[in-house]
Structure formats: C-alpha cells, structure tokens
Structure 1
C-alpha cells in the first residue's frame, strides 16, 4: 500500500494519507482522519485518488458484464473493467458496490461470486414485491394520517393490535405517524379508527392469559381408602351462578365437617394433567367470562353437588360443649351435596344444621381475634357483563352465611397446615409478617381508618417453612380449600393424598419448584383480573355520562385528597378547593374518562 491509494475501511471508502511504522493514517468521506492498523483496511486500487468524499462512478454496463462472467470468479479489477470499461479508483469503488447490494454479484473483494440467472430472477422478484409492499404501506400511512382506512389495507392494522396486546416490541404505525410508542397510544388509535370499540378488553391478552378453557386428558391419582359420608347432610354455599363448587359443610353428631372437592382424584402429582394445571395456575375471573384452570369435564366430575355423589377430602372437627375444636381428623370420602346460595342459607341460620355450624365458626372467629387477627373492611363489588351486554356493578352483599363459609375455609387452611407441619409433610405454607407500629383504631363507620390500616399490612409470602399469618391471626396456614380453581390448593391436596396413600411424597424442592412456576402465572392472573375490572368500570362510566355517586374522603396525598367511591370499589385522588375532614361524604361525577390509560378524573357536584 502507498499514499493516495483507495482502501476499504468498515465498508466505506478511505484514502491513505500517511504510512507510519505501525499505523496508517486514512481520510474518511466526512473529511476526518483516523489512524488504523494495516489489517483493518483492504486495498481496492493503488491510486492515486485525491478525495473519497464524493466518488463519481463512470457509466456502467452491469447486466452485460454479468452475462459474460457466468460461471467465472473474477477479480475486482476484472469486474471493474468489464462493467466500467476501465480500472480506476472510481471504477474499483463502483465494482465493490455491486457486491451484495445488487442482484448480480455477491462475496468479498477477494472472493467475488457471480450469481446464477435463477438467483437473479428470485432476488429481483423479491425486490419488486418489497417495493410494491413499501408503496402500499406508504399509501396506507398517507390515508391513515387523514383518519381513514381503506378496506384493502386493514391487514396493516395487525401491527397496531399486536403492539397494543404486547405481542410485539413496537409499532411501525405509531413510528411512522410520529406518535410515542406505548400500548395506551396504540389502544387509543384503534378506538379512534373504529377498529376496536370501547368495550374491547385488551388486558388478559396483554398479560398473555389464555381465554379458552383447557383441554387435556384426566388421570387417576393413587388409590386411597374412602369413608362413605353420604349419610351426612352436606351444603355447598356459594354466590348465585357459581359454577365450580369446591367446598361443602356438614354438622352431625356433635362434629363439624368441611368437605373439599377431591381434585387430586383425577389430577395426580407429576402427571401431564398436573403440568397443564400448573401452567394455568388459577381460574381467571373477568367481568365478561370465567376461564377455568381445569377442563370443564374435571369440574363436572369433581364439583361438589354437580353429581349425585362426589369424591371429597373431608375434615372432621371434634368439638367441646362451647364449640371449641378439640381434634381434627382428615380423610378422603364420598359425599352427597346439596347446593344453595348465601341468600338462601341466610334465612336458615336459625335452624339446624346451620345454627350449629355458625356457632362453630363464630367461636373460631373469636379465637382468631384473641390471636390478633386484623379485620379489614373495604368496599367490594361484583362486576359482570351480562349476555345482553349490560354492565352490572353491584356491591357484594354482607351475609352472615358468607362469613360462616369464610371462617370454615380459614379453619381448614389452619388445620391442614398444622397437620402437614406435625406429620413432616412438605407443603406450601402462606405466612404474613406482623405489621409494625401502632395500628389505628378502626370501625366500620370510619372508612378512612380502614384505608389507613391497610397501609400497615405486609404482603403474604409462600414458603415451605410454616409460620404465622398475622392478618388471619393463625399460627400456621396454607391454601387448601379451592383445588378446582387454584393450583397451590391442588398441590397441597396432592401431597396429602400421597401421604394418606402411603406413597413417596413430593420433596421440599418439588414443592418449591411447583410453587415458583405457578406463582409467576398467578401474578399475571391477578393483574389481568384487576386491570379487567377497572377497564369495565371505566367503560361503564363512559357509557353512563350522567352517573353520580357518593364519594368518601379517606386520606390526603400532597395537595390532593384520597377519594373512595364505595359503589364502584374505586379509590382515586381529587383536587378540592377546600380541605374536607376525613370521612366527609360528597357527591361526585366522572369528569374525564381515559379507558386506554385506565384513568378517570372525578369532580364534586355542587
């Protein structure tokens, strides 16, 4: 190499200015100089060339040269002479540009390959199709900027939908329209264009949740001895319309019974059905539908009261004269269950067996209070999109029968955990650290105190080491009463089945693995449900612009007040002209609703 030679540096032309002992000084197209190693550059022509800033290429006869060179492997100089009729620095650069940038030639400076006619035809066809697609895209964007959509270009909108649902990392449409990349902007544009209507709920898909019921083969768990408890009068008490009854209660001969659907009967540990259930982690409850964790077939066969006789895992509680629990026996069983609702059970609390069942759960509630249980009462609503499309938001009614069932489930979670701990059976326990500091005095008539108390509560954690659950006031606790709709409960039941069947148990590592793999999914289930509920609340407000409701001031945040709207089970912040006392009640209306951003701004009615 010598001064003024044309060289290639990182795919751009360069001119040699000076050759030093170990480096070469080159000039780049932008006029900047750079010291490089000899191995960093490739000579294209010995020169001389005075500038590489704007190399003018001679006239070319590329296709003719390509035809003449069929079957050969020309050098760069031979290619330049055939294409440009001369070998100069300018034609050398032009010959290099033919490699890999045109249909006719590919390779490197030292290894030039002449493409076959078949390759050239294919490449030209692909380039023509790409050009046509780019022209269609450009036309689509031009029309889109006017807020219009041509029917033949609707397929391009998949780009926007996929990004809105977080199936792609960015949207080319948003980019070409100069809009900020965000799923909310994609959602907003889909609404503006009329591609989606306001009711379209993107959240389950955004969190990668399946919207169809699973379909997998059911299996048989290890055989266990079953007690025939069909003589007991057993009641599955649920909300009206419940489709997955997984618990029932009995009281007879001084014993209180809690029966749990035996999901482990058809979904044993370690099988394919188990892996499928773990992948779902839990039922998905959203206002427009319920997506079950298990196939419909499993629920039909295992749901308590859905068949004349149901398999169950039963907990028998022996009681003293004051309805304190003195012993707990666990067995697999067959039961005959009658289904009823909270409202129907409420009218029967004064008669047997409901009266005695309530006395048992009331005594357990007192025991939990004595152990420091925290009772947090916040507004709850049930949101459903009816078949006729009506959005129904209704408060969850307070029933003593609902409390009865809730206490029975906590009781069973406690005794199941204590049994596993005492017998050395590894299971996932749920622990909750005690809150720190002095807890505020609370009452049902003081909503602000309930919100303040919530701030003291710590997150519960899943562990294989049993410990207290401070919120429930229980020394040890596990989730064990919803195996049709929660995998963690199914996992506990599978382990108890193995223990009672005398089979090898899942190890602590197995439990940790199963818990960890389903917890990430459970998190997405919770986010999907929370975001879907908020979505439908905002759609409801958008479709009912004249809505007004009661708001309660439950806190202060900077210059704003924290507003609780019980009828929507919603908390937000609101700026007020005057400061109001906590628990003040005001009439509010929605001033601005942004469904894509999941935001709503309220104003106080005069």
Structure 2
C-alpha cells in the first residue's frame, strides 16, 4: 500500500478541488452533486449569494480568471493553446517549406487578384480575378488558399491513430520530415474540428503563425492556391456550354481591396 500523501499534497488537492468546483459552478457545468455542494459551501462561507455570477466574480477576485474571461470558451471546452510539439512542427514547416504540387502549379501571377477585407485582416482564405474575353464574355477566377501544400488530408493516414506513422508511408512525393510534421498538425486540427471566430479573438485549428502566414493568401507575396475559373455571359449568367470550369494548383500575388 502506498504511503498517504503529505499534508501539503492533501491541501493542494483540496484547494484544486475547491477551485474546480467553483469553476464548474460558474459556467453551469457541475458534473456531480459534490461540486455543487462544495461551491455552495465556499460561497456561503464568503458571505456571497449562491449564484453562478458570484462564483465567477470570486474566481476573478482571487486571480484565477482574468477580468474579461470568455465563459463560452470554458463551457465548450475550447482549447486556446497548443502543445509544444505542435508549435515546433508548425515552425519547422514554415522554415523548411516543401510543396508536393510544385511541378504541377500554374503561374497565374499575370492576373490581378483582389481580396475584399479590412486592413487589419490576418487571414485571407479566398480572392477573385476577372478578365474580359474577346467575344465579350467575362471569365471569373476564384482562388482559394491551399493549406494542403503544407499539411496533407487524412486519406494517407488513419485519422484516429494515436501514433505517428512511419515516414515511409508518406505520399505525393513528400519529404519524410515534412510528412511527419504535417501529420502531427493534421491530427491536432482533427481534434479541434474547426477554427473558432469570436468578436474578441480567433482560435484557428492550426497554430496561429502557420494559419496566418503559411496557409493564407498574403498581400504582395507569391501564394499557393487552388483556382477555379468560370465563364459568364455579359449579363452575368453562367455560360451554359461552359467547358472551362476547372481547378488547378496555382501561384498568385494578392492585392487587398477595402
């Protein structure tokens, strides 16, 4: 039988239990009656009413929560930080870029490419181009940022696996090191499921630097994108006999328009 923990250890666990009970009570996420009872006893001992807002204010007063804490992040258990190994993998991909589609990309830098967004936009996902053909029809190009140039979809790996696959299974002529970094980031993104956009902050599926730099369209820089084009009549209708609807990997330069 293990020796009982020392008194400081017991006190630490009791304090942690009290904090966790107050937090659960503040966000209406108590999982058992003991948490409710513990939170109620603490609030009563502090001379506070037994409400979620009282628990929240107490946690702010003791410095456990920041003053402007976003409770929705806590209620939905949204992670805002990334493991160190995921941050390291993102930095490695940015420092040693390897594009498996490089030989297939078409140079579209002759097009004027416009993204409509605010000046302070950090992440541009798509942009447009338009050219007028000799017969008066208009050809519209839709450019979408290509994050798969850095991180491959899960078709080549089991998205539920907990182990990093052997580098020998990498596909699309990827460099083994690039593949392993990409797999680690892909697995982290699958755990998160989506990027979170709030009025006060954005929490992307991938580490912020990778999402904002490597996976976005950047103004005045050469960018990787997937491009689709469609031909329109002069009145805006899609050309019925359109055979020019296609997708390609491309290189772009972006011009930001307010």
With the shorter chain as reference, the TM-score category is: 0.5 to 0.7
Query: 2:203 matched to which residue of 1?
Result: 291
1:321-400 to 2 correspondence within 5 Å?
321-326=234-239, 327=242, 328-341=245-258
Partners of 2:66 and 2:212 lie apart in 1 by 34
Contact 1:248 1:260 (8 Å CA) reproduced: yes
Query: 1:211 matched to which residue of 2?
Result: 80
Partners of 2:193 and 2:16 lie apart in 1 by 36
1:17-28 to 2 correspondence within 5 Å?
none
Query: 1:258 matched to which residue of 2?
Result: 142
Partners of 1:161 and 1:177 lie apart in 2 by 12
Q: For residue 79 of structure 2, give the secondary structure of its aligned residue in structure 1.
A: coil
Q: 1:246 to 1:231 in 2, by over 3 A?
A: same
* Counterpart among 140, 161, 165 of residue 23 in structure 2: 161
Structure ID, larger Rg: 1
Q: Structure 2-normalised TM-score?
A: 0.62
Deviation readout 1:491-539 (Å, 9 max, x if unpaired): xxxxxxxxxxxxxxxxxxxxxxxxxxxxxxxxxxxxxxxxxxxxxxxxx
Contact 1:167 1:206 (8 Å CA) reproduced: no
| 2:188 pairs with 1:188 | no
Query: 1:235 matched to which residue of 2?
Result: 114
* Counterpart among 154, 166, 176 of residue 41 in structure 2: 176
Query: 2:229 matched to which residue of 1?
Result: 316
Shift of 1:290: 1.3
Query: 2:171 matched to which residue of 1?
Result: none
Contact 2:227 2:249 (8 Å CA) reproduced: yes
Partners of 2:108 and 2:140 lie apart in 1 by 13
Q: 1:157 to 1:231 in 2, by over 3 A?
A: same
Deviation readout 1:556-575 (Å, 9 max, x if unpaired): xxxxxxxxxxxxxxxxxxxx
1:33-52 to 2 correspondence within 5 Å?
none
Q: 1:228 to 1:288 in 2, by over 3 A?
A: same
| 2:214 pairs with 1:301 | yes
Deviation readout 1:150-186 (Å, 9 max, x if unpaired): xxx899445412553548642453253698xxxx934
1:221-232 to 2 correspondence within 5 Å?
222-223=100-101, 225-232=104-111
More strand by share: 1
Deviation readout 1:356-405 (Å, 9 max, x if unpaired): xxxxxxxxxxxxxxxxxxxxxxxxxxxxxxxxxxxxxxxxxxxxxxxxxx
Shift of 1:317: 1.0
Deviation readout 1:408-460 (Å, 9 max, x if unpaired): xxxxxxxxxxxxxxxxxxxxxxxxxxxxxxxxxxxxxxxxxxxxxxxxxxxxx
The structure, 1 or 2, with the larger RCO (C-alpha pairs under 8 Å, 6+ apart) is 2
Q: 1:256 to 1:205 in 2, by over 3 A?
A: same
Unaligned runs of 5+ in 1: 1-118, 138-152, 342-606
Partners of 1:167 and 1:259 lie apart in 2 by 46
Partners of 1:174 and 1:159 lie apart in 2 by 5
Q: For residue 51 of structure 2, give the secondary structure of its aligned residue in structure 1.
A: helix
Partners of 2:43 and 2:256 lie apart in 1 by 58
Query: 2:135 matched to which residue of 1?
Result: none
| 2:187 pairs with 1:275 | yes
Unaligned runs of 5+ in 2: 45-49, 133-137, 155-182
Partners of 1:325 and 1:188 lie apart in 2 by 59
Query: 2:71 matched to which residue of 1?
Result: 202
